[in-house]
Structure 1
Amino acid sequence: MSTCQPPVERHASWTELFFDLVVVAGVLQLSHLLHGGPSAADLGLYVLLYLAFWISWVCFTVYGNVEGGRDWTPGLLPAMLGLAVMVAAVPGIRADHARAFALAYIFLRWLSGRLWRPGRVVVDWPLAQLGAGTVPWIVSLWADTPTRYGLWALGLALDLLIMLTTSGSRVLRLAQERMDRLIRKRGTAERVPVVEAAYADVPHLVERLGLFVIIVLGEGVIQITSVAGEAVWHAALVRAAAGGFALLIGLWSMSLLHGYGGVPKDGPGVLPVRVMMALHAATTCALAVLAAGLGLGLAHPYGHTPEGARRLLCGSLVGYFGVGVLAAAVAGASWRRTLRWALPCLGLTLLLAGWSGHFGVAWLIWGLTAAVAWQLLCASGVPARPARRRGA
């Protein structure tokens, strides 16, 4: 059994940045599901589609990360096409485009598994070898709504469970045992792949995940500028837009300057790869929902804050702070320090969720900005540690 070492001091390549263009389109298209005062069902569907899109993107991102400088363009282009089909299917997801979305997802999961060389086991990303979560998606091709959505949710839940609980070393051992049985059956080791343990290049992966966060935060900027470009510039709109930019700056600072892989982190230790990936999915989903909430709120800058905007903004920020608490626990932060920032942040956000219907959206946005600023202030004294290569 051989071990493959990733190259050192890598940065995102032009190919990877080109691939990320689909993320820009995807986040923008998905945000339309939350326009117009979304219901709980709309939010649930959004989270479902977002996670499917995120997992598809990460499967190819991890491949590019592990393979290093090797040319992966032949697999990249059909992957971009598949992601583009998923994005284009979103407007008609409740009608005849749902099967196209599912087919594109199944294709992407199959393609991402086919790209790996035989015998190569990605210790940090078990989903490269395990595709049980795709089975419910295949079954959903013959199902109708809402059963279809339930099968999608089941498949994604299986993938997340595999990602968090499956031991990479166990997958490696099972792969070696499978090859040994094949050798004994054939009586020769010829044409039998050699099992290789492949590990993520963690610093490069942290950079890639951080770029994804920047794209999602950019959706917030787009929402603010799009609404402002079509509205009359009165004082209420200016205050709300300024607060929106301040809120995005605070989230950028907490997620990237004081975070780890785009995950807000209060603590001296780094995060294991599988935990970082799961928390990254939750973080970016919360930020994308917040971006949609900014657009909805700024569209109604006068009078009381719309209920839909209040739920999106406050709910997404509660989720964001929750991710920060989990990351702090994994990173080894003291509970006293964590509670010192988490209780005021969560308390203020929940208070605003309950009372912001009595005042304007600008006050709500600036109140949420204050909550993020407090988290940032408490985390600013935590020294950063260099990323480790292995985190399985």
Structure 2
Amino acid sequence: MTMTHGQPDSVSIEDGVQDSQAPSPPPTDEQRVTWLELFFDLIFVVAFDQLAKRLGDTPSGANVGLFLLLFTAVWWAWAGNTTFAARYGNDRRVYRWGSLLQLVTLGIIALTERGDLDQTGQAFALAYGANRLILVGMYLVTLRRDPDAAVFARPTAAGYGLGALIWLGSAGLGGTAQLALWCLALGVDLLTPLLIRERHGAALPHQEHLPERVGLLQIIALGGVVNEVVTGGRQRDLTWDSLGAALFAIAAAVALWRLYFDQARALPVALAHRVGRVSAFLAWLYGHLPFTVSVVMLGVGLGHGIGDTDPAHDAVNRALVVWPLAGALLTLALLRWNARRLTVHRARPDRSLLALSLGAAAAGGLALSGLGTLPLHAAVAALTLALALIVATDPLTRRLGQIEERLGASGSPI
């Protein structure tokens, strides 16, 4: 594949079919992550930690569902700010002031995440609704200053604005009715970009900046695994069993880091610019939600497995390890498949995709093993490290990385 005037002469697409919308030209200017964006992302260290504590305190079925709802809302607040910066620039006054205002609302959101919703639900709804309204205001200011942005900014602001009003309206309710409105509001938010899919070509995000921000969030989530392990270790005397379990848990976190960053992470974003594959870009973006939530839940399971001395909790802690691990591996498989199908002929074998899929099944099988903390963590470490080795040595992994580099879309190394 050769380059002419900054664009590839040809890109090997699996089926040669392109989306109907005209893609925007790939950005040639560099967009570095700013100190404000790093500060903004670090707020999610606290938000994820509070949600992890909520899940760990009461890992019941109902609380898991509530955890997933709150986590999705928090992740979507991050995604809204991040994609805005990647679309319209992170050096404009509207982004800087809007992000500072959103930081205030995120602080309140993090403060209310762990509490009883009967007491904190109203504050959470008001803070989250305000966060969404600020984002709507950022889109409206952009629309006013750049009428050409109307194709994407106007319907986005309308959808997010409707969701924000539902969030604010839910503050006057409580219990099941409030949760129902939260689900409705979040559904409106999540569906808005999908319903205007054909308009994304007018405002595609920066193909290097967005993957870098997404990668930074995954580092925050993986760092949370280490934090949970250390916190769990503080609950027990330092014995060889507890030290071994902690070592295996940290090794698993390192292996997951390698599995994620060994992938050609930005290919769908680059190809959205080159050939208009917006559907693949959206699958890439939304696919990071289950990966991030799986990593955070995995950290809770690993940490509580180390710190919990009650054998009655072993089954619950085991479930919080094996099923999130299966979810993380399955998501990695789907992300790889999404990148592979765009650039590699379908007949070409992919041993990494097969290994990740079988690894997810094997992780789920550990739920029936009845293993204690130390052997379970050892099995998890062995599985993830073996998968990391398979992916790292796979020629197709290297091939996908080369294609990504040729497209000028490789994210900055972390």
TM-score in same-fold range (> 0.5): yes
What is the match of residue 182 of structure 1?
A: none
What TM-score do the two structures reach when normalised by structure 1? 0.81
Q: How does 1:132-147 map to 2 (within 5 A)?
A: 132-147=162-177
Asked whether 1:98 is paired with 2:114, we answer no
Match of residue 330, structure 1, among 330, 338, 351 = 338
What is the match of residue 183 of structure 2?
A: 153
Match of residue 317, structure 1, among 303, 307, 325 = 325
Measure, in 1, the Cα distance between the counterparts of 2:191 and 2:386. Answer: 33
Which residue identity is paired with 2:301? G
Q: How does 1:191-230 map to 2 (within 5 A)?
A: 197-230=202-235
What is the match of residue 11 of structure 1?
A: 32
Match of residue 274, structure 1, among 282, 285, 300 = 282
What is the match of residue 43 of structure 1?
A: 64
Which residue identity is paired with 1:141? A
Residue 309 of structure 1: CA displacement? 1.1
Residue 327 of structure 1: CA displacement? 1.9
SS in 2 for 1:258: coil
Change (3 A) 1:371 1:126: farther
Match of residue 166, structure 1, among 196, 207, 211 = 196
What is the match of residue 260 of structure 1?
A: 265
Asked whether 1:360 is paired with 2:390, we answer no
SS in 2 for 1:96: helix
- Are 1:210 and 1:261, in contact at CA under 8 Å, matched by a contact in 2? no
- Are 2:301 and 2:321, in contact at CA under 8 Å, matched by a contact in 1? yes
Asked whether 1:372 is paired with 2:372, we answer no
Residue 232 of structure 1: CA displacement? 1.0
Change (3 A) 1:6 1:85: farther
SS in 1 for 2:404: coil
SS in 2 for 1:201: coil
What is the match of residue 272 of structure 2?
A: none
Change (3 A) 1:292 1:389: same
SS in 2 for 1:272: helix
Measure, in 1, the Cα distance between the counterparts of 2:178 and 2:38. Answer: 33
Instruction: Report sequence identity in percent.
Output: 25
Measure, in 2, the Cα distance between the counterparts of 1:217 and 1:84. Answer: 21
What is the match of residue 10 of structure 2?
A: none
Match of residue 240, structure 1, among 238, 245, 250 = 245
What is the match of residue 44 of structure 2?
A: 23
What TM-score do the two structures reach when normalised by structure 2? 0.77
Match of residue 83, structure 1, among 106, 109, 129 = 106
Change (3 A) 1:304 1:26: same
Which residue identity is paired with 1:319? G
What is the match of residue 271 of structure 2?
A: none
Measure, in 1, the Cα distance between the counterparts of 2:239 and 2:46. Answer: 31
Measure, in 1, the Cα distance between the counterparts of 2:153 and 2:225. Answer: 31
Give me the CA root mean square deviation.
3.0
> Once structures 1 and 2 are overlaid, which stretch shifts more, 139-148 or 291-300?
139-148
Residue 42 of structure 1: CA displacement? 0.9
Match of residue 92, structure 2, among 70, 85, 91 = 70
Change (3 A) 1:249 1:373: same
Match of residue 159, structure 2, among 130, 153, 173 = 130
Which residue identity is paired with 2:41? D
Asked whether 1:298 is paired with 2:306, we answer yes
- Are 2:327 and 2:360, in contact at CA under 8 Å, matched by a contact in 1? no
Residue 262 of structure 1: CA displacement? 12
Measure, in 1, the Cα distance between the counterparts of 2:338 and 2:26. Answer: 26
Residue 121 of structure 1: CA displacement? 4.5
Asked whether 1:287 is paired with 2:309, we answer no
Residue 110 of structure 1: CA displacement? 1.1
> Once structures 1 and 2 are overlaid, which stretch shifts more, 139-148 or 249-258?
139-148
List gaps (5 residues or longer) in structure 1.
173-196, 264-268
> Once structures 1 and 2 are overlaid, which stretch shifts more, 274-283 or 222-231?
222-231
Residue 148 of structure 1: CA displacement? 1.6
Which residue identity is paired with 1:130? G
Which structure has greater helix proportion?
Answer: 2
Q: How does 1:51-62 map to 2 (within 5 A)?
A: 51-62=72-83
Measure, in 2, the Cα distance between the counterparts of 1:274 and 1:108. Answer: 22
SS in 2 for 1:225: helix
Which residue identity is paired with 2:248? G
Residue 238 of structure 1: CA displacement? 0.9
- Are 2:47 and 2:110, in contact at CA under 8 Å, matched by a contact in 1? yes
> Once structures 1 and 2 are overlaid, which stretch shifts more, 160-169 or 290-299?
160-169
Asked whether 1:347 is paired with 2:370, we answer no
Which residue identity is paired with 2:222? L
- Are 2:118 and 2:174, in contact at CA under 8 Å, matched by a contact in 1? no
Change (3 A) 1:258 1:301: farther
SS in 2 for 1:202: coil
Measure, in 2, the Cα distance between the counterparts of 1:57 and 1:306. Answer: 34
- Are 2:225 and 2:298, in contact at CA under 8 Å, matched by a contact in 1? yes
Change (3 A) 1:17 1:125: farther
Which residue identity is paired with 1:273? F
Deviations 1:260-287, CA, capped at 9 Å, x for gaps: 2699xxxxx9993311210111110111
Which residue identity is paired with 2:77? S
Which residue identity is paired with 1:247? A
